[in-house]
Structure 1
Amino acid sequence: MIRVALLFFLITLALSAREPRQITLANQGTIAGMYLTRFRTKRVAAYVGIPYAQPPVDFRRFTAPEYTDLPQWEGIKNATIYAPDCMQSEPKREDVLIPWHKHDELFSKLLDSQLEEPRKKEISEDCLYLNVYVPDDIKVEGYPTMVYFHGGDFVRGSPQNLNPFHMVLKQKVIFVTVAYRLNIFGFFSTLDNEAPGNFGLLDQAAALQWVQNNIESFGGDPNNVCIFGHDAGAVSVGLHLVSSYSAGLYAKAIAMSGNVLSPETVNIARKELVTVDKVASAFSCFRKPTHQLLDCLRRVNSQALLDIGEPLAEWKPIVDAGFSNTSSPFLPELPSKLFKDKIFTTVPVLTGYTNMEDALLLHNEGDESGISQREYDLMREEVVLSDITIDNSSCFTNQHHIQDAVAFFYKPIPPTSNETILRKLFLDFYTDKVHGATTYQLAKHLCEQAPVYLYRFDLKPFSDIANEGIPEWIGVPHNFDLIFTFGLPHLALPEDLNKWDYRDKSVSEIIMKMWSNFAWYSNPTNSGVIIDWEPFELEKPGYLIIDRQNFTMSTPETINYKAFEFWTDFYPKVVEIGTKCCKEIADDSGTDSVITRRVINSLISLHFILILLS
């Protein structure tokens, strides 16, 4: 009885505190955080704007993060103000290289509508900060820690966009969000020792090292860290699996709607040579020697570097083997080869995608019709053509052989002229190729070493507020699974709470429970949910299908395994035979395919042109 009374007293005392306890960080100093509250009684502790490396400015621009000699301070540092985002431009729909996609625009609008006041969008080159969210209750054993890397195609994004309040409050995990360098600041490389590149990924590894050194002070378990990412953040998670820099800094991984084996995930050196020339020319710098080029670039104003430098290339990670004789490469080989050779960290993995990731890219506002047979054939051929287009006219000798193989596999049976069916067939083809097959291939690489849990998210929100701007025929586009993962229906403003359907609130609780179960126990259905989610096995490949009816394991009717085998096994052989006259080095893809943002944009343009001509 005395124990119960003492516990009640401690809880009452904790809840009555105006500020969370102060934390002393290793080799830095002491910080004071703040409480984030909901309905007065619900709160979590937040420590934000914590530096995890020295500011990457001046002579540290285009260098690996300095995290052995961390920023220090005397007295108590206020960790209650969010740091600015890393340098990035405001998104525009008309951008060719980094367009503001419809799914990003709609999701951003939804997030903004749930804020009491607009978030200040500040950017700075001094941006290597992280935020730590901690449950506000008494616990003896260490909490698991989820370290989240945001998306944004490696050119934009913010660790503050998604609020983990409800995940931390209800699921009792520590949540860490990380800012890392983007675009030219994070991924420019001189292809040598002067600036090897991959600085944004090295930033993430530095943040993981900071977590190892400090998370115990927040009540976390450094031996139970789960890296977690969406979009480019998910690709980052995959790259950490194969990089020696990150080995030992995490115990499990979650990758949502982004796959390290997806088309053109990383660059290779010979394709980047022209980028170095472009950058030197754009800023009137000497191209060689590269130390002079860097001296010149480091004198450029950060805003000018962003405005002029960002549009010069598709900034992304690069295979950096052989660049430096003083440090080891972050990415020594193409990810597909590293996984094939079983060179990766063996940890449990949870990964998947939505059923219509790219549907909004093909949606023409005001036109709810489907696509014609002619449109279907042309767009499918455009995607395949991007796999076999090489700067050598002789490479096109047998393209019809390749096209016929794909057309045969994806032709509608029985034949149909129904434009709605043809639109669905094209989206199935594209999703199978770009998302399904690569996820399947990744699982095949990993599953013999550690448990892998796959999912496909088919559950479209019930709430009108979440579906605004999304046509009825579209299932779950890119980003919209995050509504459930981050408990958005529970975070609405009081006047908007009734706009969220109770079913979305219930589903969100289940999704958060499964994701946090994985962080706690490496098993998403370990406790609190009655769902059968079996790990993927070679003899029994399974996905959890998350839909409105039920959460059930996949069957041949819900997952087209034969299509995945087609893209990962048969199709590469057909492409190899069809292009055997051109011994071009293969790109990085588990399916030997090359679909860049330019291809997506050309598909959109082609779709609109065909509409106009029809």
Structure 2
Amino acid sequence: GKKCPQMKELQFDIDSSENCLTLNVYTLKAPGGNTTGTIPVMVFSIVGGALHAEASMYKPSILLDYNNVIIVTIQYRLGALGFFTMNNKDVPGNAALSDLIQALRWVQSNIGYLGGDKNRVTIVGHGQGAQLFSTLLFYRSIPGVTPPLFHAAILQSGSALGRLAVDASPDASGFQIAQANYCANATMKDPTKILSCMQGKAVQEITINLDLFLRSERQSGRPGVVGTIPSLQTGTSILAADKLLTDSPENIAKDTSKLVDVPVMIGVNKNEGSYFFGGIYWTLLKDKYERESYLRNEMLPDILKMTGIPEPTKDLAEMLRNDYVGDGDIAALNTSSPGLIDLTGGLFVKNEAWRTAQLMASVNKSFFYAFDFESKDSLFDTYFQYMKPKAVFEHGVTHGDELMYLFDMPGDLVLDKSQLKTRDRLATLWTNFAVYHDPTPDENKKSWDKLSIPKWEPLNENKNYLLIEGDCKIANDYMKRRHIAHQPNPLPTQEEYDFVNQQRQSFMVCMIIFLLSTVALGGFIVY
């Protein structure tokens, strides 16, 4: 089917359509006509992000070669069509999340006719897709999620935990989107009139206006996630059947009895931050990267603001500069960028993924991996192929690079010997988990043993995880690979943060670790 309305190369994609709520089913076995199938099912939330995504781009022929599985890829509404809310019964919000739930219900009702086992469904998401799917792990109360629509989850570089993963101010955000479409202002706040105005807008106009609004937000040093992430549904008029998110994942995580009890596999890439720093570089720094005074004094506070951390005193930014850049000149991006990439990777993805893995380990098996395999190819150049000037930093193993070994993407990629082995390993681990709920199962030991993959046990008191480089090995305690310590505590409120500032002479060092340990972004630019 057609992709949902979205932008392409700074213009509205004329090949997209509102008639886009489709899914693709890939199987090597012809349907037999029975209503009960036996083949495990992997359901992918399309990768690409909350603004740009197309299910048909991701051909799963690699995965189909390694285990007898059925692959389903889902398209859901993007941007304002997927996330605009008025926090009332007319526009309750979270249409994109509702699309995913409806697709999972379709799988439960129909996958048996195609040979699939509806009782062995694994949801798989990357980036924004992982963020959306992981939201379901935190909400047992979502209609239809219990009894489960899925039985295992693979989350790649994304989680619903994090300061900007779920919008806690739906009314304000909805007003901003309406305002960007000239449907609201200081004197025009009537919900009925706003809704009528929005309904009268062409889909092209709504899509373009949101894109322009978000670009402006990011260029001004703000997060720019309005209209791209799920929102809380606190409106009293919202029907019970439409209320999907009533509390933040952070709050729900405090009571593990509310978590969906399924095995999970979660991981991150070595240089996640190069993707996010790249976004910062070309939206915030491209016109300032030669202004040394800005880079030295204002860049880090702006980066923190873009992650939702208030930084009125710049003390936190100074501490971070010392930790990540040391005695080097932060204005020399060719030498300071490795530290900044490490910092942004932790703030945007790594911290939240590691916390989620540990949290889910309290209710079921939780496997954590670190994808550190470096090769001649990277999706970084694909992400930023139209951006000028060329980046002055090395991207490393960026956000999404593992996808090259799970899907036929990009189409012209020619793998060398080490890459082929990595493809074998990832495809084996992913499909084994879907079939056995264990990436290295004893029942299929030959599949992973021949690839020199060690036995990968779930997270335990040793905090063991799988490190994927040129070889695979078991490592302990992922925090040791991070620049700063991880703690399970959420970020403080503004009032708590102000108190920290007042008391910073005696408390600053310990609170810096506390602040940074859990910061993560559900969505920043497109992901």
> Does the 8 Å contact 1:336/1:589 carry over to 2?
no
Alignment length (residue pairs): 468
CA separation of 1:579 and 1:382: change in aligned 2, threshold 3 A = farther
CA distance in structure 2 between the aligned counterparts of 1:288 and 1:376, rounded to whole angstroms: 42
Unaligned runs of 5+ in 1: 1-82, 99-119, 583-587, 601-614
2:395 maps to what in 1?
Answer: 474
CA distance in structure 1 between the aligned counterparts of 2:291 and 2:350, rounded to whole angstroms: 22
TM alignment of 1:367-382, pairs within 5 A: 375=295, 379-382=299-302
1:459 maps to what in 2?
Answer: 373
SS of the counterpart of 2:247?
Answer: coil
CA distance in structure 2 between the aligned counterparts of 1:560 and 1:370, rounded to whole angstroms: 32
CA distance in structure 2 between the aligned counterparts of 1:520 and 1:375, rounded to whole angstroms: 49
1:540 maps to what in 2?
Answer: 462
**TM-score normalised according to structure 1 size:** 0.66
Residue identity opposite 2:60 in structure 1: P
Question: Is residue 2:54 matched to residue 1:158?
Answer: yes
2:507 maps to what in 1?
Answer: none
Question: Is residue 2:4 matched to residue 1:86?
Answer: yes
Question: Is residue 2:94 matched to residue 1:198?
Answer: yes
- Could you tell me how far 1:283 is from its partner in structure 2? 8.3
SS of the counterpart of 1:258?
Answer: coil
2:430 maps to what in 1?
Answer: 515
1:485 maps to what in 2?
Answer: 406
2:161 maps to what in 1?
Answer: 261
> Does the 8 Å contact 2:276/2:345 carry over to 1?
no
> Does the 8 Å contact 2:165/2:522 carry over to 1?
no
Q: 1:504 aligns with which of 419, 425, 431?
A: 419
Q: 1:300 aligns with which of 197, 201, 207?
A: 201
CA distance in structure 2 between the aligned counterparts of 1:482 and 1:541, rounded to whole angstroms: 25
SS of the counterpart of 2:99?
Answer: helix
- Could you tell me how far 1:230 is from its partner in structure 2? 1.1
Q: 2:175 aligns with which of 274, 279, 285?
A: 274
TM alignment of 1:77-476, pairs within 5 A: 83-92=1-10, 122-136=15-29, 142-243=38-139, 244-245=142-143, 246-247=145-146, 248-268=148-168, 269-272=170-173, 274-275=175-176, 277-278=178-179, 281-282=182-183, 290-308=191-209, 311-312=212-213, 314-315=226-227, 316-328=229-241, 329-342=243-256, 343-360=258-275, 362=277, 375=295, 379-384=299-304, 396=312, 399=313, 401-403=315-317, 405-407=319-321, 409-410=323-324, 412=326, 415=327, 422-462=336-376, 473-476=394-397
CA distance in structure 2 between the aligned counterparts of 1:581 and 1:209, rounded to whole angstroms: 49
Question: Is residue 2:452 matched to residue 1:552?
Answer: no
Residue identity opposite 2:448 in structure 1: V
2:506 maps to what in 1?
Answer: none
SS of the counterpart of 1:508?
Answer: helix
1:529 maps to what in 2?
Answer: 448
> Does the 8 Å contact 1:455/1:544 carry over to 2?
yes
Residue identity opposite 1:591 in structure 2: T
Residue identity opposite 2:352 in structure 1: T
- Higher-Rg structure is 1
CA separation of 1:267 and 1:503: change in aligned 2, threshold 3 A = same
> Does the 8 Å contact 2:181/2:206 carry over to 1?
no
CA distance in structure 2 between the aligned counterparts of 1:503 and 1:565, rounded to whole angstroms: 33
- Could you tell me how far 1:159 is from its partner in structure 2? 0.7
Percent identity among equivalent residues? 22
SS of the counterpart of 1:176?
Answer: strand
- Could you tell me how far 1:276 is from its partner in structure 2? 5.6
- Could you tell me how far 1:534 is from its partner in structure 2? 2.6
**TM-score normalised according to structure 2 size:** 0.76
> Does the 8 Å contact 1:142/1:221 carry over to 2?
yes
Structure number with the bigger relative contact order (C-alpha 8 A, sep ≥ 6) is 2
Q: Which region of structure 1 is more displaced relative to structure 2, 329-338 or 201-210?
A: 329-338
- Could you tell me how far 1:289 is from its partner in structure 2? 5.1
> Does the 8 Å contact 1:515/1:524 carry over to 2?
yes
Question: Is residue 2:460 matched to residue 1:576?
Answer: no
Q: What do the CA deviations read for 1:343-368 (whole angstroms, capped 9, x no partner)?
A: 22111111112111231554689x9x
CA separation of 1:590 and 1:176: change in aligned 2, threshold 3 A = farther
